[in-house]
Amino acid sequence: MTEPLRLGIAGLGTVGAGVVKIVRQKAALLAERSGRPVTISAVTARNRDKDRGVPLTDYAWEDDAVTLATRDDVDVFVELMGGSDGPAKAATEAALAAGKDVVTANKAMLAHHGQALAQLAEDNGAVLRFEAAVAGGIPVIKALTEGLAGNDITRVMGVMNGTCNYILTRMESGGLSYQQAFEEADKLGYLEADPELDVGGIDAGHKLSLLAAIAYGTQVAFDAVELEGIGKVSIDDIRQAADMGYKIKLLGVCRMTGRGLEQRMAPCLVPATSPLGQLDGGTNMVVIEGDQVGQIVMRGAGAGEGPTASAVMGDVLDIARGTRLSTFGQPASSLKPVTAARVATPAPYYLRMALVDKPGALAKVATALGDAGISINRMRQYDHASDAAPVLIVTHKTTRSALDVALGAMAGTGVVAGDPVALRIERV
């Protein structure tokens, strides 16, 4: 096929401008690798006059994304505006309804509307691709849908938000409090306009729900993801975890069990010597475990102009080559509704609490754990100058539900000052 593949790009921020640069600067390479030219017909963004560091005068300008998505000279609508609803969703729906292929980096839109959009694409003979929506430049979607398609996936886990990994890394390397590291990340421009999307685990939870749908043939179920952010992690937790040979990461984990699909995004302790434990700064890592292939580890830049635009262009070139895949790796109509299961796989837990400095306090905590069927692996009590004594406990394997029973019992003893911090120790 020698006819050019014509793109319409909606959104000319960091990623959109990066896509335009690749199309302009690597035209010959793209044509050689796909067998046809890749061109841009038209673009749109909120501000027409902004300097984006790349010429746009060669392309038609549309003020409305829906109009762009349905132009006769657009074969592939590239949605890089963001947002779970609004113009991004309306334009994507318009493109798919018109039978046009769509490439998007919009994890929020797919996490909330993925099933309906996948069905719309298939009903109209269109393709919806989203490699850039998960882990930036790491080709994890392609790995799951293609390279590992012959495997039953036993577990998917990873660090999928570079901002959180940066904050936790800086707390350790700089001896910073959570608030100090948060403010540093904000000054560097790493945080979303709504920081809770990052530090609350929401952004990474969106990504996890998409990976789970592909891995287990289910409809996307972001509402079933157990979310816990990193706001309660202190520099004391960072140091004490390091003393025991662990690092703290905002870790996403999903697996299919006999009870249903477990999905959680929460801070965990991982061995410092593991690939996840050695992951520093804003880098992402995804670990996939399959029954035939064993464990696959993929590491790379999770955001930024080059890595994310690279992922967009990978999807564009697949379409240019004629590759037609279902959105989540199998027909949308065959994706199963999710039976959500709270994470019940036993694991050790790290507990940090402050106990009122009076006789019998520690015994009451130990009794609460024992009554819930939880045994103590190790325990440390630290010097203190206040009326509350810092205590660290590592349990043997237990379930989160049993731990919650124990924590509830501790709250009624009158010896625990404040809320304990409980972090799972994940096997990797």
Question: Active-site residue among 89, 207, 247, 364?
Answer: 207
Segment (H or E) for 361: helix 361-371
Dihedral sign for Cα atoms in the order 168, 190, 275, 153: positive
Contact 143, 288 (CB under 8 A): yes
Contact 7, 43 (CB under 8 A): no
CA dist 15 and 312 (Å) reads 9
207 catalytically annotated? yes
Burial group, residue 57, by CB count within 10 angstroms (0-12, 13-18, 19+): exposed
Token pair, residue 301, equals: 């830049």
CA dist 396 and 394 (Å) reads 7
Amino acid in position 182: F
Q: At what angle do helices 27-34 and 305-321 cross, to 10 degrees?
A: 40
Torsion on CA atoms 91, 94, 96, 99, rounded to nearest 10: -130
How do beta strands 60-61 and 38-44 pair? parallel
DSSP per-residue letters across 19-82: HHHHHHHTHHHHHHHHSS-EEEEEEE-S-SS---SS--TTSEE-S-HHHHHT-TT-SEEEE-S-
In order of 46, 59, 155, 276, 294, the CA distances from 298 in angstroms are: 35, 36, 14, 10, 13
The partner residues of 261 in beta bridges, in order of sequence, read 256, 340
Catalytic residues: 207
